[in-house]
A and B are shown apart, each in its own frame.
Chain A
Amino acid sequence: MSPALGRRTLTAPEANRSNALHAGAWWLWALGLAVAASRTTNPLLLGLLVGVAGYVVAARRTDAPWARSYGAFVKLGLFVVFLRVVFSLLLGSPIPGTHLLFTLPEVPLPEWAQGVRIGGRVSAEQLVFALYDGAKLATLLICVGAANALANPARLLKSLPGALYEAGVAVVVAMTFAPNMVADVVRLRTARRLRGRPTGGVRAVLQIGLPVLEGALERSIAVAASMDARGYGRTAQVPASVRRTTNVLTLGGLLGVCAGSYGLLAAEGAGYGLPLLAAGLLAAMAGLRLGGLRTVRTRYRPDHWGVRAWLVAGSGVTVAVLMIWANAYAPDALHPGVVPLEAPELPLWPAVSILVGLLPAFVAPVPQDTVAVTVAKEDS
């Protein structure tokens, strides 16, 4: 009896509002994978990272509109790889190479453009290097896409401090604009067809553009009216002294942050940079906290940071830490040589540490009634 019970409590529950994973946990997990990706150029490890992210997305995404963005990010990643290779082909590369593939006709450039080359010889090494580099960028993008697909961006903004909440709402409203504008464009293009005009071409874009912008403007006014009528921007009365302190703290804090980061980056200010930055951050946070007093809003069912959130976020951070550590013990395996060319091999321990990132696919709550899940159930 006890093993069955244990299994029942350990399997991930069906997702609903009350056990929803904190959006921040998903972002931490994805950023962890992204950090790991930035530490290697081994295409096998990068592929493994993409596989891990893709598996978790497939296992845990909902059928909400924002979850569909994953495919777009994958396509964007492939495009980045393609672009990186094309640039390397056209502009050449500082990588010395002995395996000459072919030579493009070179464009003669004037004296002042020395160091820039267009066309010329193309070596296998240079292409492989570009490919590795592009794959790294693509993996970073796919990790961000995974977070986007798994966590509702609006929920993440809900976790902002009170003083920033209204800005957050503005961002959410702005984000819903893009899909609406796409719908407008589609509608107006079909309307053009109804008038017997071609739907492509520059003139079509110009003629559709104005009504689309007009529609977007009208919609934003309507949403603003609705938000106003529903109490957006109601403020509580706070004493003038508190208001003044808030302003001083926030402004002073931001100044401190600016000066501190300048100090850190500039050569001569390293001494006072760090303390100034810390003090500025502290003051700004206190200002935000005080500013929160002015808003009367409360939060409806905020996401809780529970055990599962710790596990998800922790798995991402673990992957990042292990990969950074792997850079110390196996730098060659993580950065396969380009000059001379050698086949990348899959190092055992780094690969195992990447697999830790699969944890969310088992611990995060399972979304309900997604088509994929029901199909899988029927198959088994």
Chain B
Amino acid sequence: MIRFENVSVRYEEEAEPTLRGLDLTVPEGELVLLVGPSGVGKSTLLGAVSGLVPHFTGGTLTGRVTVDGRDTRTHPPRELADVVGTVGQDPSAHFVTDTVEDELAYGMESLGLAPAVMRRRVEETLDLLGLAELRDRPIATLSGGQRQRVAIGSVLTPHPKVLVLDEPTSALDPSAAEDVLAVLQRLVHDLGTTVLLAEHRLERVVQYADQVVLLPEGVMGAPADIMAISPVHPPVVSLGRLAGWDPLPLTVRDARRRAGELKERLEGRLEEKSAGRVDSPRSAGSPEGETSWDAARSARGAVSAPPAIEARGSGGGAPGSGKGRGGGVLPFLRRRTRPTTPAPATDPTPLVRAEGLGVRRGRVEALRRIDLQVRAGETVALMGRNGAGKSTLLSTLVGMIAPTSGTVRVAGRTPHTTTPRELIRQVGLVPQEPRDLLYADTVAAECAAADADAGARPGTCRDLVSELLPGVADDTHPRDLSEGQRLALALAVVLTGRPPLLLLDEPTRGLDYAAKARLVTHLRALAADGHAIVLATHDVELAAELAHRVVIIADGEVVADGPTAEVVVSSPAFSPQVAKILAPQPWLTVEQVEGAL
């Protein structure tokens, strides 16, 4: 269906070609996953299939790309529109019209299909993607997961033979991501569509793939074979490699069947540990050592208790949105709402204290009666579906939003009445788009500005940058940095004011596993240093690795607040892969297992 013959792509301003000598044949009706570290040309390869590379992006393409027998050299993207459907990284940049139904019809209108055909296909697609309820809604009012589904639907209606998707689930919460993947699965199985997608969050997608292409080598093969050699891989594969399983398991289910022997070995370690001979399964540097171990132990009971499974069944019935699942789990979680975590530090007054916090926007109550305390040295993960109020809570903590009711105190100050200059020495937020924080043309200028803003000794920020981002030249433009480097730079800028409280909004969006691992190391060091860290994230693996406590927010309310092991393990949507495999044992990350063996 898609054929790459000795394809190289080179952009003018770059010395090295982005793709080099790629030979690839994607057969019809397969779901093919592109994997590889950031910057190996995944997006370029996807663009080459739809003809946007090089017709739209510039650069030179040598070799030949054919899709369904059409050469992209002679066919500009609009002539390929009836065979290839493309959804880019940001679905909002994809929309041309303003309501769901018009958006679904737009592609067909361009192709000149008959009105009766268009009508039928729109109805079919609305049902296929569970969008029927939203048909008249303006796109601007949809949530992230809904937008992603509309974007996919809008390229499906012309019945393309090939669907090309760039990171379709990265910005979505776990349940919304499952919805989108279920749709892709259905397209491949029922309609025989060929799907080519790139995704950083392999733990979500690798089990759905028929074939995996590893870049930059350009080798294609069965998922298990490629995962055995791939530098980027999900936790289930890391665990498989660690335990020496062959063939490698790709799903939690496969891994579980194999895990008997590993579990026995680990069980032995657990007993040793309860006798106090080995470190706790929490990572080193955890301020709460033994207590989190106790919490994890109590979570064993939680996992084996039947309500977690019942809840999953009862909550899945909400039509369309797929978000009911969380609601089903949550009543169970509510039982243990108040945290059992004792204060990790000796300091009796918490750094953050929110009481009865409420925020209203127009008629919408974004937050309701939030009680939250964060102590120095503690890392807290805020989780919950898209639009639950995580970002609003972070904004309230930095004083960008004034609470409508209740009080919030950060380091003894009320954030929204404190001047920005003073506040940045108390609390720093790295926003979802770290680029927003960066104004200057060069890294050096950015650092100088940050020092001046924070009133810090000149060079403070630059030292931080050298520490977080070794080897970045002073005259680099922030725009030329990779996603992970830019995040590190924004982090350095925020840390210049030495705020005791650090907030991060979706820090791992667009990061590959290597960049994520570096971020985890930095944040752990900061927490060990006494910084309190609050991160809003959809990434359950990140929460498992970093957070001492997890707070789950739904509809603007705190529905669960407790030690990570306890909260995360008891919820199927929020538990990391390792926890699912080794349940009921309390391991959360591969690192912990490795440490124990």
Mark A residues whose CB is within 8 Å of B.
Answer: 16-17, 64-66, 152, 154, 169, 172-173, 176, 179, 187-188, 190-199, 207, 211, 219, 222-234, 236, 296-301, 368, 371
Does A233 lie within 8 Å of B78, measured CB to CB?
Answer: yes
Q: With A225-B56, A299-B115 given, is the CB distance from A197 to B420 under 8 Å?
A: yes
Q: Which of A195, A229, A368 contacts B437 (CB 8 A)?
A: A195
Most buried by B among A172, A188, A226, A301: A226
Inside 8 A of A232's CB, which chain B residues have their CB?
78, 96, 110
Q: With A154-B98, A193-B420, A226-B93 given, is the CB distance from A299 to B109 under 8 Å?
A: yes
- Alpha-carbon gap, A229 to B96, bound state (A): 12
Inside 8 A of A219's CB, which chain B residues have their CB?
93
Q: With A231-B111, A296-B112 given, is the CB distance from A194 to B97 under 8 Å?
A: no
Does A196 lie within 8 Å of B109, measured CB to CB?
Answer: no
Most buried by B among A179, A187, A232: A232
- Alpha-carbon gap, A34 to B358, bound state (A): 44
**CB nearest to B114 among chain A residues:** A298
Q: With A152-B98, A300-B115 given, is the CB distance from A65 to B424 under 8 Å?
A: no
Inside 8 A of A234's CB, which chain B residues have their CB?
78-79, 81, 110-112
- Alpha-carbon gap, A169 to B96, bound state (A): 8
Does B111 lie within 8 Å of A176, measured CB to CB?
Answer: no
Does B436 lie within 8 Å of A191, measured CB to CB?
Answer: yes
Q: Which of A66, A195, A199, A211 contacts B450 (CB 8 A)?
A: A195
Q: With A195-B424, A229-B84 given, is the CB distance from A16 to B97 under 8 Å?
A: no
Determine whether B138 belongs to the interface, using a CB cutoff of 8 Å to chain A.
Answer: yes
Does B431 lie within 8 Å of A191, measured CB to CB?
Answer: yes
Determine whether B380 belongs to the interface, using a CB cutoff of 8 Å to chain A.
Answer: no
Inside 8 A of A211's CB, which chain B residues have their CB?
436, 439
Q: How far is the CB of A246 from chain B (nearest CB, A)?
A: 19
Given contact pairs A226-B94, A298-B113, A299-B109, enumerate 15 new A-B contacts (beta carbons under 8 Å): A154-B97, A190-B400, A191-B437, A193-B420, A194-B429, A195-B449, A196-B420, A196-B421, A196-B497, A222-B94, A223-B94, A224-B56, A230-B106, A296-B110, A301-B101
Determine whether B168 belongs to the interface, using a CB cutoff of 8 Å to chain A.
Answer: no
Does A65 lie within 8 Å of B141, measured CB to CB?
Answer: yes
Determine whether B398 belongs to the interface, using a CB cutoff of 8 Å to chain A.
Answer: yes
Does A230 lie within 8 Å of B155, measured CB to CB?
Answer: yes
Does A65 lie within 8 Å of B138, measured CB to CB?
Answer: yes
Q: With A17-B136, A194-B398, A300-B118 given, is the CB distance from A229 to B113 under 8 Å?
A: no
Q: How far is the CB of B314 from chain A (nearest CB, A)?
A: 27
Q: How far is the CB of A42 from chain B (nearest CB, A)?
A: 37
Inside 8 A of B99's CB, which chain A residues have their CB?
64, 152, 154
- Alpha-carbon gap, A223 to B94, bound state (A): 6
**24 residue pairs bridging A and B, Cβ less than 8 Å apart:** A64-B98, A65-B140, A187-B431, A191-B437, A195-B449, A196-B420, A196-B453, A198-B420, A225-B77, A228-B77, A229-B52, A230-B78, A231-B81, A231-B110, A231-B158, A232-B78, A233-B110, A234-B112, A298-B109, A298-B114, A298-B118, A300-B115, A300-B122, A371-B363
Inside 8 A of B204's CB, which chain A residues have their CB?
none
Does B424 lie within 8 Å of A194, measured CB to CB?
Answer: yes
Q: How far is the CB of B499 from chain A (nearest CB, A)?
A: 10
Residues 559-595 (chain B) with a chain A CB within 8 angstroms: none
Does B436 lie within 8 Å of A188, measured CB to CB?
Answer: yes
Residues 92-139 (chain B) with a chain A CB within 8 angstroms: 93-99, 101-102, 105-115, 118-119, 122, 135-136, 138
Determine whether B423 belongs to the interface, using a CB cutoff of 8 Å to chain A.
Answer: yes
- Alpha-carbon gap, A229 to B46, bound state (A): 12
- Alpha-carbon gap, A152 to B422, bound state (A): 46
Inside 8 A of B436's CB, which chain A residues have their CB?
187-188, 191, 211
Q: How far is the CB of A186 from chain B (nearest CB, A)?
A: 10
Inside 8 A of A297's CB, which chain B residues have their CB?
109-110, 112
Determine whether B51 belongs to the interface, using a CB cutoff of 8 Å to chain A.
Answer: yes
Q: With A194-B437, A196-B497, A207-B439 given, is the CB distance from A298 to B112 under 8 Å?
A: yes
Inside 8 A of A188's CB, which chain B residues have their CB?
436
- Alpha-carbon gap, A237 to B395, bound state (A): 55
Determine whether B220 belongs to the interface, using a CB cutoff of 8 Å to chain A.
Answer: no
- Alpha-carbon gap, A198 to B453, bound state (A): 10
